[in-house]
């Protein structure tokens, strides 16, 4: 970016917390003041939420930046904190997980059950020769054993590396090899879109290409045929027959807890390393604070997959360390029907729902009459994560899911940050649709220009984080230099500048006139049109604010006159009929609508009406592929696409207007 971002969208709606929720909230406004006055003291206080076997000597050691050590000298066991201590406190009968399989089967797992299962899995892994510091790869569907496997690793100090169950043998083998995993935990398969999928053959292929794996533990989920090798052990014959007693040993606060790979667009995936004490402190605190979680009464549901960081922090470690009761669902939102999510909310009386903008926009496309058929009155807090949420999707979520009386918390964070960093507090903040609002207590975020200078209110630029935070990544597994280069070399001390070390998040952001933060997508996605930096997110939000549009993705395509030109791919809402003129009138109307909403500079050169958008398996739009289409190039690498047929659909179903 050669200049700061144009600040186009002007959203003035504001929604204060409902009175009852505000009065009763876990976190009140004084938390910000407290943390401002003594940031390290604030985090030390949050760390007291956990049970420590040995107290720390120092809250933060930042003497060797950017390598942080939190709670130096402290010792604790993560699984003990997520399971044992709740049972010891007499809460063994509380439901930890209401698990719902896609075909309609279900399981209820109490904290006492979880203790037994986790202890057995820890004993079984120990019997297979796994010791503290070893790496274990986990490649499972969304079944309770996924959480059990992670907790069992944490219990014995093994570092887990969860690989999303939709990834290929290629992706799995490169992750196994990078971490030299000794054991792989998998299943015969899982259910997705009404059909059993096969995981075991992918593992066989991946394992055959690597040389570190000694054992493979296989959960029987689908009962499908599997090939068997001499490394394989059935979970039900190994784990479920193991001793049910296991004493968890404490580990150092900086002991590696897990590696999670983020897939860069081109380069080798980065193994993001998270450790023990700081990670659990911040995931535990943020679960309680940002969702106003009341473990005695709430039923919490995060719809993410355990293969993403959201599943790690907000299905496993955050909720369980709080002793929460949660729902875990195996499958897709439209199996066997488009009301499945709402059916689950209704069935378990879910009170806190945490999902992604891509899902909310999909639900919008399906229509509000679907959630209207279910009793959603149990809901009280709604969360969003993964991408910027467009103001109209936020409003839809609030109105048709939250019936107008649930705070919507838009949570900004990354695999690298480990836990939520920027978001409203449900009992404190008057939230604006589409804004992540403010850094949480104890977090310091800012928006800077390309010289690293803070932008004034009303300005835009790069999102940075100024102070180390407890759940920050500690490095990239095996590659300290890449860690420094990727995150710490753009601004501040790491860039040779004076002053402090500054973390570069890679996201564009703006500050509105009140100083609230708006995330504008990855900086690689910002467009430069006739010398103006314009965010793809803002143009997409303008399009989605038109009543005929369900979803939109915007890219900058090379243009001889303007440098880059705005090209939009738009999915019309189900109710819109474009058959009369091939969509010409709608396209003209949408171009004018964007010009009216954001100004003439943001008017798309071209709008294509398409039936689908290309998304990664975690639901992010793959703008790179759309740029290929917009610039008439042959498509680049499509292997991370969620559904490889969408690009054909887009090319064949595309109607374009200039």
Binding site for ligand WT7 (CB under 6 A): 262, 308-310, 385-388, 410-415, 436, 505-507, 519, 522, 618
How far apart (Å, rounded) are the C-alpha atoms in residues 9 and 434? Answer: 10
CB of 123 or CB of 420, closer to ligand WT7: 420
State the Cα angle at 240 between 140 and 179, rounded to 5°: 40
> In whole angstroms, how close is the CB of 508 to ligand WT7 at the nearest point?
9
CB of 74 or CB of 391, closer to ligand WT7: 391
> In whole angstroms, how close is the CB of 634 to ligand WT7 at the nearest point?
27
Query: What is the rounded end-to-end Cα distance, in angstroms, of the chain?
Result: 27
Looking at residue 442, the DSSP 8-state letter turns out to be T
Strand stretches in 396-514, DSSP E: 408-410, 445-448, 460-465, 475-476, 503-511
CB of 83 or CB of 422, closer to ligand WT7: 422
CB of 388 or CB of 433, closer to ligand WT7: 388
CB of 173 or CB of 618, closer to ligand WT7: 618
> In whole angstroms, how close is the CB of 453 to ligand WT7 at the nearest point?
22
Is 194 assigned to a binding site? yes
Is 482 assigned to a binding site? no
CB of 411 or CB of 541, closer to ligand WT7: 411
Is 544 assigned to a binding site? yes
Cβ atoms within 10 Å, residue 516 = 21
> In whole angstroms, how close is the CB of 616 to ligand WT7 at the nearest point?
9
CB of 134 or CB of 507, closer to ligand WT7: 507
> In whole angstroms, how close is the CB of 437 to ligand WT7 at the nearest point?
10
Is there a cis peptide before residue 336, judged by omega within 30 degrees of 0?
A: yes
Measured in degrees and rounded to the nearest 5, phi and psi for residue 527 equal -100, 150
Q: Any residues with CB less than 8 A from the CB of 436 and at least 6 apart, and which?
A: 410, 411, 412, 422, 423, 424, 517, 518, 519
How far apart (Å, rounded) are the C-alpha atoms in residues 232 and 226? Answer: 11
CB of 281 or CB of 283, closer to ligand WT7: 283
Is 332 assigned to a binding site? no
- Give the 3-state secondary structure of residue 646: helix
Is 208 assigned to a binding site? no
Is 255 assigned to a binding site? no
Cβ(330)–Cβ(305) below 8 Å: no
How far apart (Å, rounded) are the C-alpha atoms in residues 291 and 408? Answer: 9
> In whole angstroms, how close is the CB of 385 to ligand WT7 at the nearest point?
5
> In whole angstroms, how close is the CB of 341 to ligand WT7 at the nearest point?
19
What DSSP assignment string belongs to 278-337?
A: HHHHHHHHHHHHHTT--TTT-EEEE-S-TTSHHHIIIIIIHHHHTT-EEEEE-S-TTSS-
Is 27 assigned to a binding site? no
Is 183 assigned to a binding site? no
Is 311 assigned to a binding site? no
How far apart (Å, rounded) are the C-alpha atoms in residues 73 and 565? Answer: 55
> In whole angstroms, how close is the CB of 505 to ligand WT7 at the nearest point?
6
Is 58 assigned to a binding site? no
Give binding residues for CoA as ranges.
192-195, 310, 530
Give binding residues for Mg(2+) as ranges.
544, 546, 549
Give binding residues as ranges.
192-195, 310, 386-388, 410-415, 507, 522, 530, 544, 546, 549
Give binding residues for ATP as ranges.
386-388, 410-415, 507, 522
């Amino acid at each position: 970016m050669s200049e700061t971002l144009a600040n186009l969208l002007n959203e003035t709606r504001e929604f204060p917390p409902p009175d009852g929720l505000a009065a009763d909230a876990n976190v009140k406004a004084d938390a910000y003041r407290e943390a401002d006055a003594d940031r390290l003291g604030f985090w030390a206080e949050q760390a007291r939420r956990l049970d420590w076997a040995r107290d720390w000597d120092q809250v933060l050691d930042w003497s060797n930046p950017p390598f942080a050590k939190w709670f130096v000298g402290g010792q604790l066991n993560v699984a003990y904190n997520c399971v044992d201590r709740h049972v010891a406190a007499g809460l063994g009968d509380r439901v930890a997980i209401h698990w719902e399989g896609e075909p309609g089967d279900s399981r209820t797992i109490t904290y006492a059950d979880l203790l037994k299962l986790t202890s057995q899995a820890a004993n079984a892994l120990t019997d297979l020769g796994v010791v503290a510091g070893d790496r274990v790869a986990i490649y499972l569907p969304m079944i309770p054993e996924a959480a059990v496997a992670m907790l069992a690793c944490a219990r014995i100090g093994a570092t887990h590396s969860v690989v999303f169950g939709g990834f290929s043998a290629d992706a799995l083998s490169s992750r196994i090899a990078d971490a030299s995993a000794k054991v792989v935990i998998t299943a015969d398969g899982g259910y997705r879109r009404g059909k059993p999928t096969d995981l075991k053959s992918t593992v066989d292929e991946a394992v055959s290409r690597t040389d570190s794996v000694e054992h493979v533990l296989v959960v029987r989920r689908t009962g499908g045929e599997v090939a068997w090798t001499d490394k394989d052990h059935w979970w039900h014959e190994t784990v479920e027959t193991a001793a049910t007693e296991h004493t968890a040993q404490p580990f150092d606060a900086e002991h590696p807890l897990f590696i999670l790979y983020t897939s860069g667009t081109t380069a080798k995936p980065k193994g993001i390393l998270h450790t023990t004490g700081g990670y659990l402190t911040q995931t535990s605190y943020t679960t309680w604070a940002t969702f106003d979680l009341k473990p005695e009464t709430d039923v919490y549901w995060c719809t993410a997959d355990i293969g993403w960081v959201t599943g790690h922090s907000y299905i496993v470690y955050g909720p369980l360390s709080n002793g929460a009761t949660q729902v875990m669902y195996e499958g897709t939102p439209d199996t066997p029907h488009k009301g499945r999510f709402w059916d689950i909310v209704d069935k378990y009386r879910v009170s806190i729902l945490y999902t992604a903008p891509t899902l909310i926009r999909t639900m919008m496309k399906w229509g509000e009459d679907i959630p209207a058929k279910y009793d959603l009155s149990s809901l009280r807090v709604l969360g969003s994560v993964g991408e910027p949420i467009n103001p109209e999707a936020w409003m839809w979520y609030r109105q048709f899911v939250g019936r107008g009386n649930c705070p919507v918390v838009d949570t900004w964070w990354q695999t690298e940050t480990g836990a939520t960093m920027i978001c409203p507090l449900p009992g404190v903040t008057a939230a604006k649709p589409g804004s992540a609002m403010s850094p949480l207590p104890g977090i310091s975020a800012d928006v800077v220009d390309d010289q690293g200078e803070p932008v004034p209110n009303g300005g835009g630029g790069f999102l940075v984080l100024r102070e180390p935070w407890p759940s920050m990544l500690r490095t990239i597994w095996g590659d300290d230099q890449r860690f420094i280069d990727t995150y710490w070399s753009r601004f501040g001390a790491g860039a040779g500048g004076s002053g402090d070390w500054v973390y570069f998040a890679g996201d564009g952001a703006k500050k509105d006139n009140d100083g609230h933060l708006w995330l504008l997508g990855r900086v690689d996605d910002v467009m430069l049109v006739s010398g103006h930096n314009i965010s793809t997110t803002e143009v997409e939000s303008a399009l989605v604010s038109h009543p005929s549009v369900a979803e939109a993705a915007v890219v900058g395509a090379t243009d001889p006159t303007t440098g880059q030109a705005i090209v939009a791919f738009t999915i019309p809402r189900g109710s819109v009929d474009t058959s009369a003129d091939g969509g010409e009138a709608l396209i003209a109307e949408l171009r004018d609508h964007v010009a009216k909403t954001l100004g003439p500079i943001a008017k798309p050169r071209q709008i294509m009406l398409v039936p689908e958008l290309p998304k990664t398996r975690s639901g992010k739009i793959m703008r790179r592929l759309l740029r290929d289409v917009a610039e008439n190039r042959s498509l680049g690498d499509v292997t991370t696409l969620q559904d490889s047929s969408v690009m054909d659909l887009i090319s064949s179903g595309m109607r374009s207007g200039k």
